Amino acid sequence: MSQPYVIDKLISAKAIDARLEELAREIRQRFADTDKLVVVGLLRGSFIFIADLVRELDMNVEVDFLETSSYGNAMESSREVRILKDLRGEIGGRDVLVVEDIVDTGHTLAHVLKFLEARAPRRLETIALLDKPSRREVDIKATWTGFEIPDEFVVGYGIDYAQRNRNLPYIGKVRFT
């Protein structure tokens, strides 16, 4: 069982919505030449972000998911990334956008990109809702980032702590009591 904590609001739902509109505009411009964009969400943390993002894209998209694991119920990454659920569709020769909830150490995103690059997509870009560059252990950066945040443990908008708080409409900082 997790220890008692409170959640302080870090990024409001209104700020997330406004940033999503900006990001979608940039993505539409980048992929204006594609007939269908394959949007790959990394489960579970990205599910709310990907749902809101694809509704803003106003273009032909196919949605697929990869499930990875590097945290379990812990607050620290194990740095051992496992693919728990593979894509259903083919991405060879296609334009792909990988949607990540948070880039922390960078291990998950690096592992996923290597995994997907082996399938020879035409173009492979990335978007992360949150970025914690102060914790980076792998030299990697998402093509687009929603918000850069300090080294805080966060929840909400799909991101959990021990499978709790994913349903918060904002990003909150966990403070243990």
Q: Average per-residue pLDDT in the chain?
A: 93
Question: Which backbone phi and psi does 6 adopt, to 5 degrees?
Answer: -120, 160
Domain positions in the chain are 13-153
Confidence (pLDDT) at 140: 96
Confidence (pLDDT) at 55: 97
What does the pLDDT look like over 70-99, one tens digit per residue?
755 555 555 678 899 999 999 999 999 999
Determine the Cα–Cα distance for residues 155 and 99; give it in Å rounded to an integer: 17
Confidence (pLDDT) at 86: 95
Residue 79, Ramachandran bin (φ over 0: left; ψ between -120 and 50: alpha; else beta): left
Residue whose C-alpha is closest to residue 48's, from 173, 175, 165: 165
SS3 134: helix
Instruction: Please state the rounded mean pLDDT for residues 107-131.
Output: 97
What CATH number does the domain located at 13-153 have? 3.40.50.2020
Q: Give me the half-sphere count of Cα atoms (radius 13 Å) on the Cβ side of residue 167.
A: 2
What does the pLDDT look like over 28-62, one tens digit per residue?
999 999 999 999 999 999 999 999 999 999 999 99
Which residue type is seen at 107? H
DSSP letters along 10-59, please? EE-HHHHHHHHHHHHHHHHHHTTT-S-EEEEEEETTTHHHHHHHHHHH-S
pLDDT over 70 (residue 163):
yes
Q: Find the catalytic residue in 104, 131, 151, 160.
A: 104
Confidence (pLDDT) at 12: 98
**104 in active site:** yes
pTM above 0.85, yes or no: yes
DSSP letters along 54-120, please? HHHH-S-EEEEEEEEES-TT-SS--S--EEEE--SS--TTSEEEEEEEEESSSHHHHHHHHHHHTT-
Confidence (pLDDT) at 77: 52
Angle at 50 between CA 38 and CA 16, to 5 degrees: 135
Confidence (pLDDT) at 47: 96
pLDDT over 70 (residue 127):
yes
Chain centroid to CA 50: how far? 8
Indicate the pLDDT class of residue 108, thresholds 50, 70 and 90.
very high
